[in-house]
Structure 1
Amino acid sequence: MVRRKKDSDSNDNDKRPIHRKQSKKITNDDDEESSTRTPSGTLQVRNKMVRQLLYAKLKRSKSKSKLKERKARQQSDEPREEPKTIEKKRLRDETWVDENDQETLDDISNDELNNYFTRQADSTEPKLLLTSQEGFPTSFTNKFLKELARILPNTTYFQRRHHPIKRIIKKMNKLGYTDLLVVNEDHGKPCTLYISHLPEGPTMKFRLTNARLSKQLRSNRGKSCAKLTVRPEIILNNFNTRIGIRVGRLLAALFPHDPQYKGRHIITFHNQRDFVFFRHHMYLFKNEKKVALQELGPRFTLKLKSIQHGTFDALYGEYEWIHKPKHKMDTERTKFFL
């Protein structure tokens, strides 16, 4: 019996799998296969440190080759190609306006803002009222509104609280105000701007983004926005369609005629891809030949959402133009409306 048990144990040991160590040749072959180049140009190495060093070396070699090509193009006499940008690929539609378009000139002479630009209104100086949405604004929005009131001439900041807009407009017509600006906020930051021209309109709604105070700008170095005591120079860029000209005229009507160039203040509304960038600068004359610009702030970005006939009326207002969702209007990257 004992001998039989030993035979069975020996048979079990024979059936057990034999684990052998892998030879060094196999590991070397795996490393050679893993270090091959991929189509993307990177090196697949298992060691992270070695992989980072190889990638940095490859990146430096590519940048050096690009620099050599750039210097060769600069030294050659071949004409430079114009950069291909989305603005240069813009599709011109039927709303694009030429300088001598008679139909557009007729529309301008008959719109609601014609009396102001021809100085036929009762007062040539605009009178603005700036307020917030219903309730009490947050700290950041309150500071932003106060800075806007400082740089916009003849502007009064009114704490709206719970007063309805229609009642405010009636009171403004009696006091001779020309424009109403309402800033709404979301999550503690300004998000919407309404501009309503009195007494006949139009009313435009803008989405307001990237609002920054004067203290947050590097060029201002922590200084607060001072009261603007001069009439600034207004610059309107790239408002080329009928809707764009209408928007530009409404923005220009917020400022008085005859800018005081000696004050050296400039306010710019720059339209690029239907985003209107607001900037406030001042000239700095270093000497007789060199001139610099210092940004004073605040700064923000606007995008037109709708144009409404007449003054603000959320329920029964007649809309002239509305920006619809992406699947209806924003179908092409090279199509713009301003």
Structure 2
Amino acid sequence: MGGKRKKGESEGMEGDNDSKNNNKKMKQKSEILPSSVKNKEKRSAVHAKLKHQKKVEKRKKLKARDAAEKRALELGEEPAPKQIPRTIENAREADETVCMPDDEELFAGNDADEFSSILKRDRTPKILITTCRFNSTIVEYANNKEFTSIIVVHTNRREPDALLIIGLPDGPTAHFKLSSLVLRKDIKNHGNPTSHMPELVLNNFTTRLGHRIGRLIQSLFPQDPNFRGRRVVTFHNQRDFIFFRHHRYVFETKESKQSDSKGKKAKDAKGESIAKEKVVARLQECGPRFTLKLVSLQHGTFDTKGGEYEWVHKPEMDTSRRRFFL
């Protein structure tokens, strides 16, 4: 039944098989992982080659996407929606405690919480900052002197490692782990703040717990910032780490060369280039800078024995990298 294959046909099939085998071998060579190469020089060469291949592929994809967008615009069509990179933040686990803009119960409670008198400007913040170990007499003393909050900085081997923020007269008390402290003197080209009241910026305090911590932080600052001082204090929450930064706006006048419609430098009657002044704004860090991590939030003033806790961080709560509490 089966006839003999012709010589040209068999040679053609063998050629196809050879090309397939060559492509397979080349693909296997390109997929060699650097970790499987023992020689250091060869390993670095393989790594550089893989990195270059990824860069070329990325460039091709970008060019193809730009060409597709341009073609769509020329045809009067809508371009394909831009892809949003997947991050831990936008892949966050669903949380029923996230505050919604129409949460009437939450905003109604703001008028009756411990911070309302300060945030309504009925009281002016007056903060007692100490490095002494906490004891109950501090609260009594601070209440008698009409302080609104106590900040206790805990130190370990003369290095700050924790922060207690106690609202007065009735709490609450927030306990934070403190890390990555950089003092003003150690910040390169740091600015020197003035005595003007700063503007406060709070970012990403999205849950009910975050909302409460945000109001606690807000109660530490006057509610009438003096914008002429150009001071900005920022508490930025990212993955339950609260980053503190202190900046001031700096406005600088710079000269830029004017150009005509053809892109050539504009010149006056004497043939000199005409310079145009423009104002450039930038931020200058004043410091200090540090990072906070909430450990617990307690009702009332600090009490390690009989205190009732609103929230306590426990190791078993860290079941997922995509789960956040603030």
What is the TM-score normalised by the length of structure 2?
A: 0.74
Task: Pick from 88, 91, 96 the counterpart of residue 90 of structure 2.
Answer: 88
User: What percent of counterpart residues are identical?
Assistant: 44
* Structure 1 residue 60 corresponds to structure 2 residue 52: yes
Letter matched to residue 198 of structure 1: L
Secondary structure (helix, strand or coil) at the match of 1:286 reads: strand
Report how far residue 167 of structure 1 moved: 1.2
Contact 1:37 1:44 in 2 (8 A): no
The CA distance in 2 between the partners of 1:98 and 1:45, in whole Å, is: 54
Letter matched to residue 264 of structure 1: R
Match of 1:261 in 2: 227
Report how far residue 55 of structure 1 moved: 4.2
Secondary structure (helix, strand or coil) at the match of 2:152 reads: strand
Secondary structure (helix, strand or coil) at the match of 1:297 reads: coil
Going from structure 1 to structure 2, the CA distance change for 1:318 and 1:55 (only over 3 Å counts) comes to closer
Secondary structure (helix, strand or coil) at the match of 1:76 reads: helix
Deviates more, 1:86-95 or 1:174-183: 86-95
Task: List aligned pairs for 1:135-174, cutoff 5 A.
Answer: 165-174=135-144
* Structure 1 residue 283 corresponds to structure 2 residue 241: no
The CA distance in 1 between the partners of 2:39 and 2:117, in whole Å, is: 75
Match of 2:301 in 1: 311
Structure 2: gaps (5+ residues): 1-27, 70-79, 254-277
Secondary structure (helix, strand or coil) at the match of 1:239 reads: coil
Match of 2:199 in 1: 233
Report how far residue 252 of structure 1 moved: 0.7
Contact 1:38 1:44 in 2 (8 A): no
Letter matched to residue 192 of structure 1: A
Going from structure 1 to structure 2, the CA distance change for 1:38 and 1:242 (only over 3 Å counts) comes to same
Match of 2:130 in 1: 131
Contact 1:280 1:299 in 2 (8 A): yes
* Structure 1 residue 243 corresponds to structure 2 residue 209: yes
Structure 1: gaps (5+ residues): 1-35, 135-163
Q: Structure 1, residues 208-244: CA drift from partner, whole Å, max 9, x if none?
A: 1111112322342xxxx74640100001111111111
* Structure 1 residue 193 corresponds to structure 2 residue 163: yes
Report how far residue 199 of structure 1 moved: 0.6
Secondary structure (helix, strand or coil) at the match of 1:209 reads: strand
Q: Structure 1, residues 241-299: CA drift from partner, whole Å, max 9, x if none?
A: 11111101110111112100011000011111111110111111234553211111111
Match of 2:146 in 1: 176
Q: Structure 1, residues 164-223: CA drift from partner, whole Å, max 9, x if none?
A: 521122111111111111111234422110000111111100111111112322342xxx
Secondary structure (helix, strand or coil) at the match of 2:212 reads: helix
Secondary structure (helix, strand or coil) at the match of 2:165 reads: strand
Going from structure 1 to structure 2, the CA distance change for 1:166 and 1:79 (only over 3 Å counts) comes to same
Report how far residue 311 of structure 1 moved: 1.1
Considering only aligned residues, what root-mean-square deviation do their CA atoms show, in Å?
A: 2.5
Contact 1:265 1:281 in 2 (8 A): yes
Contact 2:241 2:293 in 1 (8 A): yes
Task: Pick from 52, 60, 72 the counterpart of residue 64 of structure 2.
Answer: 72
Q: Number of paired residues?
A: 266
Letter matched to residue 127 of structure 2: L
Going from structure 1 to structure 2, the CA distance change for 1:44 and 1:319 (only over 3 Å counts) comes to closer
Secondary structure (helix, strand or coil) at the match of 1:168 reads: helix
The CA distance in 2 between the partners of 1:87 and 1:51, in whole Å, is: 35
Match of 2:117 in 1: 115
Going from structure 1 to structure 2, the CA distance change for 1:179 and 1:84 (only over 3 Å counts) comes to same
Going from structure 1 to structure 2, the CA distance change for 1:61 and 1:320 (only over 3 Å counts) comes to closer
